[in-house]
Structure formats: C-alpha cells, structure tokens
Amino acid sequence: MTFGRLAPCGVTLKKEDSPSIGTLFRRDTSNAGGELTNILKRLVEHTAIAIAGGVIFSMLAGLAFDGVLCALGSEGTIRRLASAWYGPAIWWPGTLGFFVNRRMLHRAACFVWLPGLVWLALGILSIATSWGPVEMSSMTHLRVELFPMTRSDYDGCALNQCLGPLLWTWPALSAVTYSIGAALGLLSQSDRRSAYDHFEYLTILSLK
C-alpha cells in the first residue's frame, strides 16, 4: 500500500517523497548525545561543589560550633561531637545544595550521592589493601580508619593522623547531604521549569 498526497499543479510525487509510518512516528534523537553530555557535565560540577565546598563548609561550621561550645564551657562528648564526621556539621552541605540548586534547578544535582559513594568505595579499597595493625582485623581497621566513633578509635587511627574521615568519609557524606538539599531545593521551585534540564525522554541514568 502506498501513502500518497495531493500535489499542487498536477505534479506527481515520487514514492520516496511520501512519508513512511516509521518516519511519522520516529522520535528525533539526534541531540541525545549532547543532552547526556550536558547532564554529566552538570553532575561533575555539582560533585565538585559538594565535595570541595561541602567539606570546607562543614569544617568551618564545625570549628564555629566548637568555638561556641568552648566559650560556653562545654567539654567532653558534646564538644567532640561538634567536630566529628558524624556531627551536625556534616549537614551543612545540604544547606549549600539547597540554595545552589534552588537557583540552578539542575536535576543532575540530586544524583551527586553516586560519585560520593564511588569515592568512599575507593577509600575502602585503598585502606583495605594498605598496611594495618596486626592486632586489628580488616573490618576493625576499616571502621577505625574511616568511621572512628570513640576515643579509643581515634587513638587507633592516630598513627595516620586520622586522615581517613577527612579524605574519604566527609567528602562522601557531603555528597549525600548535598544531594538531599539539592532535591529539596528543586522541589521548592517545582513551579519553575529549568531552562537547562529539558531532556524529553528517559536516559540510562533516569535523570528525568
């Protein structure tokens, strides 16, 4: 069966001039690579903000909180909590992500936790394959180096100056909290359509 159409002035259309069913229903994917590249570019940009800016932001907030507690005469557990990797300061990158993405409206910012977990996995691999104390099991060594909780844990990682949380744990958690803040920032501006994230079909990353 041939799909024809009326031609003006008696001009006869060739068969190849008539649109086929596939042409009528084919989605234009010529710009798919460019869109995916833009999404990955934004993901890298927000990851840099989350890891670099988030860690610095958390450290400054922790020092400020510690200074306030010191001025109030607080000591012991409460003051140690202020500067710990699991303390309230780790949520400050979420505030940063909220305000940054409230303005930028990038859906890719909500997925910064993925590079953060990859970074933490690299840290686990690095420490697992490095030298550890003979008296510690591998799991205990990982926990002490990356997630010190008690004073004895900090004494155990003192040999490496307890750099594990600063190099690996804080950046990963900053990426997670930044993603949460970015998602909330995006939701708070749901009535505005981003001028950038207009990817009209599902990608393998499901960013849309």
Could you tell me if residue 41 is inside a domain? yes
Contact predicate 104/148, CB 8 Å: no
Could you tell me if residue 205 is inside a domain? no
Could you tell me if residue 204 is inside a domain? no
Look at the alpha carbons of 135, 173, 78, 71 in this order and tell me if their dihedral is positive or negative.
positive
**Full residue range of the structural domain in which residue 43 is found:** 33-188
C-alpha closest to that of 175 among 42, 50, 85: 50
Check residue 100 and give its pLDDT: 93
Check residue 32 and give its pLDDT: 58
The enclosing H or E element of 198 equals none
Ordered per-residue pLDDT tens for the chain, 208 residues: 444 444 454 544 444 444 444 443 344 455 556 788 888 999 999 999 998 888 887 778 777 777 777 777 766 656 566 667 777 778 888 999 999 999 999 999 999 999 999 999 999 999 888 877 777 788 888 888 888 877 777 777 777 777 888 889 989 999 999 999 999 999 988 766 444 444 433 343 454 4
Could you tell me if residue 200 is inside a domain? no
Q: How far apart are CA 25 and CA 107, in angstroms?
A: 28
Look-up of token digits 């010190």:
148
Could you tell me if residue 51 is inside a domain? yes
Torsion angles phi and psi, residue 183, rounded to 5: -65, -40
CA atoms within 13 A of residue 77's CA, in its CB half-sphere: 2
Check residue 21 and give its pLDDT: 41
Check residue 190 and give its pLDDT: 72
User: How far, in whole angstroms, is CA 71 from its chain's centroid?
Assistant: 35
Q: How far apart are CA 207 and CA 1, in angstroms?
A: 41
Check residue 79 and give its pLDDT: 58
* Number of domains composing the chain: 1
Contact predicate 77/149, CB 8 Å: no
Could you tell me if residue 114 is inside a domain? yes
Could you tell me if residue 25 is inside a domain? no
C-alpha closest to that of 3 among 23, 21, 25: 21
Write the single-letter amino acid at 20: S
Could you tell me if residue 194 is inside a domain? no
Q: How far apart are CA 203 and CA 39, in angstroms?
A: 10
Check residue 182 and give its pLDDT: 95
Q: Give the burial string for 37-75 (b: 16+ CB within 10 Å, else e).
A: ebbeebbebbbebbbebbbebbeebbeebbeebeeeeee
Q: How far apart are CA 46 and CA 103, in angstroms?
A: 13
